[in-house]
């Protein structure tokens, strides 16, 4: 995480010098803005016995920054500092035994977890020239996110005095689940959209972004005797205004 902050700080310090060196006009120089992005998230399971249980609504907001590459302003390095609120809902098939010499039964346990991340994206943006007041763009890069909270509603087994045989199941609500979520999430970011210039440097951006997670988000979660692995993906409606 320290490396990500150092990289962001270095980019902020170097950007004014790069702008001056390339003699970039004011309207295509370094840009700062605010982003708000509602999202739809889901899990992709890599473990048999763990299944996604539907999509969940979330949202991202924070500061977005773009630094020009070259003098034309058609290529940009993009980053930012976002608070990303996403959720996941999954089912686990849990085998259990409720009596001595009893049959092995299976219970589907439901988990609905709400997570918060601090996200530092590192992206490359390719933009068209202005067509009327519009510019169109494609974007690709990587997402680095650090978990700061997790709360969950989930089911767990109740055991008898031996701690071996299950006597029933109980639903726990709004419990701290941070110990079961990995502290770091990495992802591939792909997006496209358009920008409308109102006046001067004030620009409205709208687009769709696909965030494809490629690191396991679960920790200390098992399916039988196997460690559970699940990747989280989401699509967001990317809305931002630059000043």
Domains and CATH numbers, the chain: 2-41+55-84+112-146+178-242 (2.40.160.20)
**Among 12-26, 71-85, 133-147, 160-174, where is mean pLDDT lowest?**
12-26
Angstrom distance (rounded) from CA 36 to CA 62: 7
Residues 134 and 195 sit within 8 Å (Cβ to Cβ): yes
Angstrom distance (rounded) from CA 171 to CA 155: 4
Angstrom distance (rounded) from CA 94 to CA 50: 9
Angstrom distance (rounded) from CA 119 to CA 196: 26
At 28, the pLDDT band (50, 70, 90 cuts) reads: low
The kind and range of the H/E element at 24 are none
* Res 24 pLDDT > 70: no
Residue 199: what pLDDT? 79
- Of 156, 184, 180, give the one whose Cα is nearest residue 168: 156
At 224, the pLDDT band (50, 70, 90 cuts) reads: confident
Tokens (6 digits) for 220: 């200390």
pLDDT tens for each residue of 112-157: 999 999 999 999 999 999 888 899 999 999 999 999 999 999 998 8
**Among 11-15, 25-29, 105-109, 174-178, where is mean pLDDT lowest?**
11-15
Angstrom distance (rounded) from CA 168 to CA 234: 35
pLDDT tens for each residue of 47-63: 999 999 999 999 999 99
* Res 31 pLDDT > 70: yes
Residue 18: what pLDDT? 43
């Amino acid at each position: 995480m320290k490396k990500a902050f150092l990289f962001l700080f270095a980019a902020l310090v170097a950007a004014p010098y790069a702008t001056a060196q390339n003699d970039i006009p004011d309207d295509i120089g370094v840009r700062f803005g605010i982003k708000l992005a509602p999202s739809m998230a889901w899990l992709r399971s890599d473990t048999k016995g763990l299944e996604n249980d539907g999509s969940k609504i979330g949202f991202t907001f924070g500061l977005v920054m773009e630094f020009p590459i070259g003098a034309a302003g058609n290529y940009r390095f993009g980053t930012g500092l976002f608070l990303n609120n996403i959720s996941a809902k999954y089912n686990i098939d849990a085998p259990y035994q409720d009596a001595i010499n009893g049959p092995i039964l299976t219970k589907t346990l439901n988990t609905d977890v709400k997570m918060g991340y601090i996200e530092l994206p590192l992206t490359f943006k390719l933009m068209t020239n202005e067509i009327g007041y519009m510019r169109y763009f494609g974007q690709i890069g990587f997402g680095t996110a650090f978990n700061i909270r997790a709360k969950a509603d989930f089911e767990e087994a109740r055991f008898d005095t031996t701690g071996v045989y299950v006597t029933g199941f109980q639903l726990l609500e709004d419990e701290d689940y941070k110990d079961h979520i990995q502290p770091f999430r990495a992802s591939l970011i792909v997006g496209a959209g358009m920008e409308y210039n109102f006046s001067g440097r004030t620009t409205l951006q709208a687009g769709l972004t696909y965030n494809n997670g490629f690191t396991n988000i679960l920790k200390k979660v098992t399916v039988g005797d196997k460690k559970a692995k699940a990747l989280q993906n989401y699509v967001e409606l990317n809305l931002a205004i630059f000043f």
